[in-house]
Structure 1
Amino acid sequence: MARTKSEIVIRALHTKQGDDLDVFAFFIRGADIVKVADISRVERDESDALKGFQRPEIRSHVKGIVDYLNQGKVLFPNAIILAMSPEVRFAASRGTKPTGDEGIANIGTLTIPVYQEGKRVAWIVDGQQRSLALAQASKLEVAVPVVGFVSDSVEVQREQFILVNKAKPLPSRLINELLPETGGILLPRDLSSRKVPSEICGLLNRDPNSPFFKLIKRPSDRGAGSAVVTDTAVISMIRNSMNNPLGALAIFRTSSNGRDGVDLEAMYGLLVTFWSAVKSVFRDAWGRDPRHSRLMHSAGIEAMGVLMDRIYGRLQPSDDVKIVEKELQKVAPHCRWTKGVWESLGVPWNEIQNTPRDIRRLQNALVQAYSVAGVGR
C-alpha cells in the first residue's frame, strides 16, 4: 500500500451495483480509516434540516474493541462500509483476464485523497465504533476490510445506514427520525410503514402552528430544553390510529395498484386540530415535564390517541377546534393529569407508568368517561 502526504493508494476490486453505482472492496490500515472518512453524526442545522445519520459514539463499546485489538495478533475480518465521494480515483489494471473469470469485478488501484476532518472524501456508514477503536489501538498496522460505494447523495447514504443497521441494536428512535429523510427510495415494507408516522411527527415538531412545536424529543435535537414528549410516543399514537380500521387517521389511507398510500396533509390537519383542542382544554397540563404532567407522558399521549379515535367516530374530519374542545370538555372533569387520584382507576396521577398495562387502563378510563358523559353533539 503506497502513500503520499495527501492521498492513500491501495489495490482494490471494482464492480457496479444499484443505479450504476461504483462499489469497491479493499484492505486499509485500521488507523487510516479515520484519515479518509468522517463520522457523520445525526444533527439538525440552523434551518432545522437533518444532517448526517450516525448515532453518537458509544465509549464503552469503543473501549472494548480497543482492548481486544491491543491483545496482539487478532483476527478482525469485519468490514467497514464507507460512502465515498466521486473524488476517489480508480485505475483498472491492464492485462489478460484469467481463464474462467466471470467478469464480476475488476482489479486495479484506488486513490483516496486525504483531507482534514469535516472535509474528507468518505463517510462511515457502518463501523463507527470499530473505526474509532482502530484509530486508538496501539497496534496500528492491522489490515481492515472495507467496502465502499461512491455516492454524494445523503439519501442513498442514509438508506444504506438504515438497511445495514436494521438487524442490529440501532435505536428505533434514530431509525424513525432518519426514515422521512430517505426520499423516494425503496425500503423494506416494515420500515416503509414507519415512515409516514415519523414524517408527521417531524412536521408536528417543526411547524410553529403545531401544538407540539419544539415539544418533541428527537435524537438529533441536542440540548432542546423545551422538548418534553418522546417522539416514540407521538409516532406510536399516529401509527395506532392509522392501523386501527376505526381510527381517526385510517380513513386517510388509500390503496392503488396494490400499494398503500396516505393523504398526509389531511392526517396532519386532523392531528393539529385535535391536539390544539387538547392543549386548550388541558392548558395547565400542556407542555410540562412528564414528571409533572402525565398528559405529556408517553402513557398520556398514547391513551389520548385512543380517545381521539373514539371522538372522531362521532365527528367529521373537517370539524374545527371548538367542536373538538366541546367533546374533550366531557372528559376533562375526570382527568387527573397533574394532581389528585384517577377515581375510576384508584391510583394517584403520578403512578401512571409507560407500561402496556397502565396505558391500556388509562385509555379505557378516558373512553369510559367519554361514553358515560354522552357522545351527543
Structure 2
Amino acid sequence: MRKSSAVIKVPAMEIRQSPGRKLYTFAVDGKRVYDFVDISRIRRNAGAELEGYQRPEVVAHIQEIKEYIESDAPMIPNGIVVAFDSRVKFKRVKSAALDMSSDAVMGVLEIPVGEHGKRGKVGFVVDGQQRLAAIRGAKVQKFPMLVSAFITDDLRQQTEQFILVNSTKPLPKGLIYELIPHTDARLPTALHKRRLAAYLLERLNHEEQSPLYKMIRTPTAPDGVIKDNSMLKMLGNSLSDGVLYEFRERNELTVESVANMSALLRRFWGAVKETFPEAWGLKPRESRLMHGAGIVSVGNLMDHIASQRTRRSVIPSQKFFRKHLSLVAPECAWTKGDWRFGPDDVRAWNQVQNTRQDVEMLTDFLQRAYEAAA
C-alpha cells in the first residue's frame, strides 16, 4: 500500500454480484482505516429526523477485542464492511498471468484520505466499528484487516446494507456452549468463565455411565428434558464457591481435575435419581426436579452435603450422597403435594417458577430442611 497526494492506493478485487452491484475487497492496516472513514452515528437532527445508523460503541466489548489483539497470535477473519462514496475509484489491472472469471477482476482502489470540505471523509463503517475501535486503541504497531466495500452516494443504500448485515440471527447460545469446550482460543470473559462448566455439562450429557446421559437439552441432544442453561448455572455456582471449586485448577481443563469433578457429579446426580425416582426424567412441567429451579437448588444442596465430608480431598460416594439426600426427601414436592416454605407460605408443587426469587426461596428451603434434619 502506498500513499500519494492524499490518496491511498491498494490492490483490490472487484466482484460483480448482480446487475449494478459491485463489491470491492482489499486489505489495509486497521489503524489506517479511520484515515478515510467515519462512523455514521444514529441521531436526530434539529428537525427530529433520523440520521446515521450506527449504535454507540460498547466499551466492554471493545476492551475484550483489544486484549485479544494484544495477545500472542490473534486472528480476526471476519472483515470490516465500508460504504464509499463516488470519490473512490477502481482501476482495473490487465495481466495475462491472472486467471480470473468475468465476475471478478483485479485492480487498484484509489481512496482519498482525510476530510474534504463539507463532504467529509469518503467512507462510512457499515459493520465492524467495535473491531476498529479496538484496533485503534491496541498496543500493536499495526493490524491488517480485510475490508469489503461498496460504492454509493445513496445514504438509504448504506443504511439498508447496515440493517441487512446486522439483523442476521446470532448463533444460538446453546450452540456456542457446545462449541467452547473444543477450542483453546481466547474467548470473551463471560464465555471463558463458562468453558469449564460447558465441558462438564458435555461429559454429563454424553458419557453413557452418567445418570444424566442425553437428558440435558442441547443442539446435539434436542430431546433432553433439562435446559442446558439451568445445568450451566448449577455448575457455575459450584465452580465459583462450591465443592467443584476445590477440584478446580485455575479454571483449566486438566485431566485430573475434570476426572474428579465428573466423578463427583455422576455420584451426586446418581444419588438424586435413586432418591427421587418418581420425579426423575420427566419434563419440567411434570417435575420441578427437572425444572430450572430444581436443578439449581439441588445443585446448591450438593455443595452443602459435600461439606460434611471428613476430608475435603475425598470424593463422596453415591451412597454418602443418597444418605444425606434422604434427610430432605420428605419435605420435597417435586411432582405432587405442596411446598411448605413457611407457616403462611404454602404453594402447590407446580407453583415454583424459574425466577430469581423462586430459585432463591427453594434453595433456602432445601438448605434449611437439610440442616434441621442433619
Give, in angstroms, the shift of residue 370 of structure 1. 1.1
In structure 2, stretches of 5+ residues that fail to align are: 1-13, 31-72, 84-99, 115-140, 150-156
Contact 2:339 2:347 in 1 (8 A): yes
Aligned to 1:249: 244
Q: How does 1:1-377 map to 2 (within 5 A)?
A: 11-15=24-28, 93=107, 171-181=172-182, 183-218=183-218, 220-221=219-220, 224-225=222-223, 227-244=224-241, 247-255=242-250, 260-261=251-252, 263-315=257-309, 317-345=314-342, 346-374=346-374
> What secondary structure does 2:243 align onto?
coil
The offset of 1:95, in angstroms, is 11
Distance in 2 separating the partners of 1:214 and 1:175: 18
Identity between Structure 1 and Structure 2 (%): 32
Letter in 2 for 1:211: P
Distance 1:213 1:261 in 2: 24
Deviation at 1:328, TM superposition (A): 0.9
- Residues 106-158 of structure 1: CA deviation (Å, up to 9, x unaligned): 99999xxxxxxxxxxxxxxxxxxxxxxxxxxxxx9x9958xxxxxxxxxxxxx
* Contact 1:286/1:296, CA 8 A, preserved across alignment: yes
Q: How far does residue 2 in structure 1 lie from its aligned partner after superposition?
A: 6.1
Cα distance in 2, alignment partners of residues 217 and 208 from structure 1? 16
Residue pair 2:260, 2:315 contacting (<8 A) in 1 also = no
RMSD over aligned Cα, in angstroms? 4.3
3-state SS of 2:283 partner? coil
The CA distance in 2 between the partners of 1:109 and 1:324, in whole Å, is 58
Task: Return closer, same or farther for 1:106/1:327 CA change in 2, 3 Å cut-off.
Answer: closer
Report the Cα offset of residue 21 of structure 1: 7.4
TM-score by length of 2: 0.56
State the distance in 1 between where 2:185 and 2:146 align.
Answer: 30
| Deviations 1:246-274, CA, capped at 9 Å, x for gaps | x111112224xxxx435222212111111
User: Unaligned regions of 5+ residues in structure 1, if any?
Assistant: 29-87, 111-139, 146-163
How far did residue 187 of structure 1 move?
1.3
Cα deviation per residue 1:288-310 (whole Å; 9 max; x = unaligned)? 01111110010000000110010
Q: What's the CA shift for 1:243?
A: 1.0
**Aligned residue in 2 for 1:129:** none
Question: Which is greater in Rg?
Answer: 2
The Cα of 1:217 is off from its aligned counterpart by 1.2
Residue 326 of structure 1 aligns to which amino acid in structure 2?
K
Shift of 1:24: 6.1
Relative distance call for 1:251 and 1:26 in structure 2 (3 A) is closer
1:142-179 deviation line (CA, Å, top 9, x unaligned): 9958xxxxxxxxxxxxxxxxxx99xx976544433332
Gap change, CA 1:294 and 1:11, over 3 Å in 2: closer
Amino acid at match of 1:213: Y
Moved over 3 A (4+): 1-5, 8-11, 15-28, 88-100, 102-110, 142-145, 168-175
Q: Name the CA shift for 1:230/1:14 in 2 (closer, same or farther; >3 Å).
A: same
CA contact (8 A) 1:13 1:25 kept: no
TM-superposed CA distance for 1:209, in Å, is: 1.1
CA separation in 2, counterparts of 1:369 and 1:266? 28
Cα deviation per residue 1:326-375 (whole Å; 9 max; x = unaligned)? Answer: 1111111111111111234421111111111111111111111111112x
Whole-angstrom distance in 2 between the partners of 1:369 and 1:192: 35
Report the secondary structure of 2:321's partner residue: helix
Kept in 2, the 8 Å contact 1:303–1:362? The answer is yes
Instruction: Say if 1:295 and 1:204 are closer, same or farther in 2 by CA, change over 3 A.
Output: same
Distance 1:209 1:25, change over 3 A: same
CA distance in 2, matches of 1:107, 1:281: 58
- Output the CA distance in 2 between the equivalents of 1:307 and 1:13: 57
Rounded Cα–Cα distance in structure 2 between residues aligned with 1:299 and 1:94: 61
Q: TM-score normalized by structure 1?
A: 0.56
- One-letter code aligned to 1:253: R
Whether contact under 8 Å (1:180, 1:199) holds in the other structure is: yes
